[in-house]
Amino acid sequence: MKRILVTGGAGYIGSHTVVELLDVGYDVVIIDNLSNSNEKVIDGIEKIVGRRPEFIKMDCLDMDGLRKVFINYPNICGIIHFAASKAVGESVNIPLHYYKNNIVTLLNLLELIPEFGVEGIVFSSSCTVYGQPENLPVTEDAPVQPAMSPYGNSKQINEEIIRDAIHAGLPFKSIILRYFNPIGAHPSAEIGELPNGIPQNLVPFITQTAIGIHPEVSVFGNDYNTPDGSCIRDFINVVDLSKAHVIAVERMLENKGDSLEIFNLGTGKGLSVFELLNIFEKSTGVSVPYRIVGRREGDIEKVWADPVHANKVLGWKSEKTIEETLISAWEWQKKLAKTKN
């Protein structure tokens, strides 16, 4: 079996991707410092797949520890790098933490790749690199705009680091996946989004409010230049997103395509915050109180993907409807509530 190292593999997107990797026969080693995740996620992965990934609690900033992982688990042929701090608003307030955590971890991995003969790395990037695009939907050819947050800037810098390393002749391939807005949970309700503290993302805040943890959802601004005044995003099911990583790994290991490739992962459809709230209420039958507050620094007004490149080249496309995606998030939230009770 081919072995894949998944950094941040106990996190939200990471854990769903580990499920998909195990499901098609890969061996998986997870590194995660559990700063925004929980080790119980590994149990959920095992319940879904019937196989347990190797798990190492460790920080990717620890270069000596990382080297030991490659020594102890030989024949790691590919890496999927999720490990990063990921909240736009928080990054504005603690930028140095974001730059250190998101950039140095990648540098450490890239230094070890040639030493241990790793064939390639799939990098978890973001649509934030496009800033506020001039044209929508946004394609991979759209210019990378000056970042509106340290989080977005860290993703831009990491993309440039990978590009420069490959241009310099380092012997590895890379596929950069630019996500739009992942939401939902595994249909088994064994794993899902599990933020520590107050959620920074919209859907877990909605589900937590719906179940009574918060009194209301804060809608950050209703005066944007959109049909209903709220921000517009491209919300993609996390399982659909995870399947794209398996395709990317296989493409990389089969040495297809160029040394560096970039793909947008989205549905191609934008939904506003108010539209999402409305669909959640209709799909679940649960009303969600909300309050309009001021705009949040670093937020982009509207963005959604043109996923045609990924559709054609990877043979991948999003398949889940927004309704079933929101229902999966709600089922996960209800399961969490039962577990705590």
Instruction: Compute the 3-state secondary structure of the chain and give helix, strand, coil in percent, each to the nearest 5.
Output: 40, 20, 40
Best CA proximity match to 151, nearest among 96, 81, 194, 202: 96
Catalytically annotated residue among 26, 98, 130, 151: 151
Q: Which residues contact 88 (CB under 8 A, 6 or more apart)?
A: 128, 148, 149, 151, 152, 200, 296, 298, 299
Residue 46 CA: distances (Å) to CA of 18, 190, 227, 249: 10, 9, 44, 21
Rounded CA gap, 126 and 159, in Å? 10
Whether 15 and 43 have beta carbons less than 8 Å apart is answered as: no
CA end-to-end span of the chain: 40
Rama region for 315: left / alpha / beta (φ>0; ψ in -120 to 50; rest): left
Give catalytic status of residue 26 as yes or no: no
Q: Which residues are catalytic?
A: 151
